Amino acid sequence: MQQIGHWINGKHVAGAGRTADVWNPATGEVQAQVALASKAELDQAVADAAAAQPAWAAMNPQRRARVMMKFVDLLHRDMDKLAEALSREHGKTIPDAKGDVQRGLEVVEFCIGAPHHLKGEFTDSAGPGIDMYSMRQPIGVAAGITPFNFPAMIPMWKMAPALVCGNAFILKPSERDPSVPMMLAELLQEAGLPDGVLQVINGDKESVDAILDNDTISGIGFVGSTPIAEYIYSRGCANGKRVQCFGGAKNHMIIMPDADLDQAADALVGAGYGAAGERCMAISVAVPVGEETADRLIEKLVPKIEALKVGPYTSGDDVDYGPVVTPMAKENILRLVQTGVDQGAELVVDGRDFSLQGYEDGFFVGPHLFDRVTPDMDIYQQEIFGPVLSTVRAGSYEEALKLAMDNQYGNGTAIFTRDGDAARDFAARVNVGMVGINVPIPVPLAYHTFGGWKKSAFGDLNQHGPDAFRFYTKTKTVTSRWPSGIKEGGEFTIPVMD
8 A C-beta contact, residue 367 and residue 307: no
Q: Which of 213, 234, 210, 232 is nearest to 223 (CA)?
A: 232
Q: Which residues pair with 479 in a beta bridge?
A: 132
237 an active-site residue?
Answer: no
Residue 129's Cβ-count burial label (10 Å; 0-12, 13-18, 19+) is exposed
Q: Which of 254, 285, 266, 274 is nearest to 390 (CA)?
A: 285
Indicate which residue of 111, 165, 245, 280 is catalytic.
Answer: 280
The strand pair at 198-200 and 168-172 is best described as: parallel
H helices, E strands: number in the chain: 16, 23
Cα 426 from chain centroid (whole Å):
25
| Widest Cα–Cα separation across the chain | 111
Strands (E) across 154-313 are located at 168-172, 198-200, 217-223, 242-246, 251-255, 283-288
For 405-440, give one letter per residue: b (16+ CB within 10 A) or e. eebebbbbbbbbbeeeebbeebeeebebbbbbeebb
Q: Which of 159, 166, 194 is nearest to 57 (CA)?
A: 166
Question: Which residues make Cβ contacts (< 8 Å) with residue 171, sequence separation at least 6?
Answer: 143, 144, 146, 155, 158, 159, 181, 185, 198, 199, 200, 201
Cβ-based neighbour number of residue 121 at 10 Å = 11
Q: What secondary structure letter does DSSP report for 441?
A: S
8 A C-beta contact, residue 411 and residue 452: yes
8 A C-beta contact, residue 387 and residue 409: no
Q: Which of 243, 152, 242 is nearest to 200 (CA)?
A: 152
Active centre residues (catalytic):
280
